[in-house]
Structure 1
């Protein structure tokens, strides 16, 4: 068991960009987790009020705290690397600023980490505010075909045709214990400093999205293992940053193109990978638009059918979750 007398230090690495109220929940939850020795917050850009709160934040006695800012929006991958460079811990917990860690999760992450070969990366379970498992924490390794099937909706054929299997595996039966998993989520993952440095951290060529898939792939290529444990968990609000959906989806398309280019084996494959941006960009943007419209229509229908005397609960608009 990990206790307050544990023999290693855990640094929580939080990269934030206009994350809203969830940021405070994230940091306060990390303070409750006694196994977290240090919190490093990289401010890629936030409101004046939130920056003032970050500067004035006073952590509990067991936990050090450092705010790194003044560099502008350098993206998620570069932000995590910057946080790691400022961290003093032996373990790194990478967690999104809109994720609220469940207490004792560090214990479960460390137990899973020690069960795998080095370099070892462990991902935890992500849940919606409703309590249902969120997509992204259990995934197949990405291929061009898998991306097309997943983002086009062709995965609906996956139950009868294995080739159309969705890369997201949250609908599979949940394992009872830690198991190998090709890809886990960068919203909640855990790795030793030694292993992080062995694979040279995140690839800063990714600005937003796909960097975690690339990271998982490089862990495997280095002879290590990626592990998923359902016993470590965080509530993940998702999509709280105040940026346009089009900006997000375009960066996802750029990330996909970079990933496929890096892993292409032939000149034709690399050329096709570069060109794939022009296929994925309109697909992802239109898909995002359609999903948001469907969500708005669903909410409007709920509002219409709710009795007028019923007070609607406070709502947090949830857009599609990241791939």
Structure 2
């Protein structure tokens, strides 16, 4: 069921940027996120897709910010499906998929649209995403995973981390092309979206952003990282109550990404080892998490 504000419909067509936010129990941070988006220097269309939150955050968001267009799901279909609901409803020339725990500055969108306009070959752009302590967040600029980097990272080797995540490398002074950006903030050009398509809905949570980046690159579009623009991301706000379940979805996403993009070049023998290895890694992490939780109660 979709709830819309009729007074907002007439202005939608003139708005250049649409912001799609998928919410699941985002709490007060969702309100702060929306305030940052709506108080910016550019007018925007905001589409909030709520995945059956139980904390009242969606209703409060609509009450406090009437211009927001609310799509209310009766269950939680996952991030990719919900984001695609928002993308299909959006009317902007540019579309920002934004996490509900990201806090924008007033000029964030204006600067990002300017950077994307300056690089017509870029179909997607991301900014410098910071942790609340001001440090650069892992995954905000990165390489796409390969079989080698994935195995090294799964084994805890430093080389695996350095081979994927670039946040420890010197910060570039100017926007630069990267292979992937964080799904917390993904600004896409409509013309590129129409060519590449929306998110793969077979991912429930995690890895759909890497999949999207890979498909943009495969279609000939570039991905831009803009270091001068910064946002704060309170990572994990919507998933902190179910860490093991979230970990399961993440590992299941790894398996899908591997099968789609890496299995053919890796060979049958590698697949026989890699896919069970991903699930074994999940089981080990789940056991460790359970032990730590029990230890914390004693």
User: Normalising by structure 1, what TM-score?
Assistant: 0.78
- Distance change in 2, residues 1:270/1:88 (3 Å): farther
Where does the alignment leave 5 or more consecutive residues of structure 2 unmatched? 1-13
Cα separation, 2, equivalents of 1:8 and 1:55: 20
Where does the alignment leave 5 or more consecutive residues of structure 1 unmatched? 1-6, 298-323
What is the SS of the residue equivalent to 2:41?
coil
User: Given the alignment of the two structures, is residue 200 of structure 1 paired with residue 207 of structure 2, yes or no?
Assistant: no
Cα separation, 1, equivalents of 2:290 and 2:104: 27
Alignment map for 1:1-323 (pairs within 5 Å): 9-59=16-66, 64-118=67-121, 120-155=123-158, 158=159, 165-242=162-239, 243-264=241-262, 266=264, 269=267, 272-273=270-271, 276-284=274-282, 286-287=284-285
Residue 4 of structure 2 corresponds to: none
Residue 308 of structure 1 corresponds to: none
User: Normalising by structure 2, what TM-score?
Assistant: 0.85
Task: Write the deviation string for residues 240-287 of structure 1: whole angstroms up to 9, x where unpaired.
Answer: 114421111111111111111111463974785486443123324544
How many matched pairs?
Answer: 282
Pick which of 193-202 and 276-285 moved more.
276-285
Residue 307 of structure 1 corresponds to: none
Runs of 4+ in 1 over 6 A off after TM superposition: 291-295
What is the SS of the residue equivalent to 1:78?
helix
Pick which of 27-36 and 221-230 moved more.
27-36
Higher helix proportion? 2
What is the SS of the residue equivalent to 2:180?
coil
RMSD: 2.8
Cα separation, 2, equivalents of 1:11 and 1:268: 39
